[in-house]
Amino acid sequence: MSDFLLNAGRQTLLLELQEASRLPDRLDESFVRAAQTIISCKGKLVVSGIGKSGHIGKKLAATFASTGTPAFFVHPAEALHGDLGMLESQDVMLFISYSGSAKELELIIPRLEEKSIALLAMTGKSQSPLALAAAAVLDISVAREACPMRLAPTSSTVNTLMLGDALAMAVMQARGFSEEDFARSHPAGALGARLLNKVHHLMRKDDEVPKVTVDANVMDAMLELSRTGLGLVAVCDSAGQVSGVFTDGDLRRWLVRGGTLNDAVSEAMTTGGVTLQSQERAIDAKEILMRHKISAAPVVDENGYLTGAINLQNFYHAGII
C-alpha cells in the first residue's frame, strides 16, 4: 500500500509539473496587456470565479492586495444578487473559468459592458464566451488533469495559481513596490516589525531611562545602573543633551584603576559614546548596536537631547531578530 501511495503522489506531481512547465512559453502580448490594464486601473481589481477557480481567485485577490494593487474577491452568484453594485467604471474584473462558459457569465458580461469595466480572462478555452468578451486572455489550458479520472481540477488549478502569481509579481515590480510597501500591508508580521518600527516605538521612556547629570558622582551612576538594569547610564548636561555614557564596564575599569565612588562620573564615563536617533528604523538601530558590539544605547532626538534608551532585549520582544 505504501508503494502505491508514493507512486500515486509522485505521478500527480510529475503531471502537474509537466503542465506547468509549458506556461512560460505562453506569456505573450496578452499577458502584457493584462498587466498594463491592471497597472493603469484607477479603481480596484475585482477577482471572480466559481468552484476551484473561486478558491484560487480568493488567493490571487489577496496576493494582489498585499503587493500594491487594491483587490478583492466577489463570488459570481453573489455578484448577481447585489454585489455587482460594488463595481465601478474605473474597476477591472479578472474572471477565472477553465471552461469560460460559466452560466453566471451570461448575466455578468453585459453588466460589465454597461459600466465600461475592463474584463480580463483566465481560461483554458480560447474561443469561449469569456475569452471572446475579454480585453486580454491568460491561457491556463492543460493537456490532461493530474486526476487519474481526468475529472478533478488539479493541473489546471496549479496553472491558474502560477499564472496568477506571475501576473501579480509582474505588476508589483512594474509599480516599484518595495519591502517597506509590503510591510505596510503586513504590520503585524515579522517583516512589518522589522521595517515599520522606529526606535521611539520600542525604546524605554521616562523613569525607565537611566540617566544622571555631568555633576553626579560615580556612586550616583552606579545606583542608577542598579535601578534600571540596562547596563548603561546616559550622562547629560544641564540642558539634557547627552555628553557620554557610563556602563558596567566603565565602573569596573574605573575601580580597577584606583578610582573611587565619590569621583565625578564625568571622569569615569565614555565621552560621546554610541547614541541612536529616535526616528531611525529599529532594524537599522539594532545593526548599529551589533556592529559596535554593545547591548544598549541612549536614544536622542535630532538635537542630541535624551528622549529614551533601548537595549537588544527591546528589539527581540518586538520580533526584530
Query: Residues marked as binding for Zn(2+)?
Result: 75
DSSP string, 116-136: T-EEEEEES-TTSHHHHH-SE
Residue ranges of the annotated binding site are 75
Angle, alpha carbons 9-13-18 (nearest 5°): 150
Burial 60-89 (b: 16+ CB within 10 A, else e): bbebbbbbbbebbbbbbeebeeebbeebee
Pairing of strands 242-247, 232-236: antiparallel
Lateral strand order in the sheet of 306-311 = 276-277, 296-300, 306-311
Separation CA 321–CA 318 (nearest Å): 8
Of 62, 267, 55, nearest to 185 (Cα)?
62
Q: How far is CA 6 from CA 15, 17, 156, in A?
A: 14, 16, 22
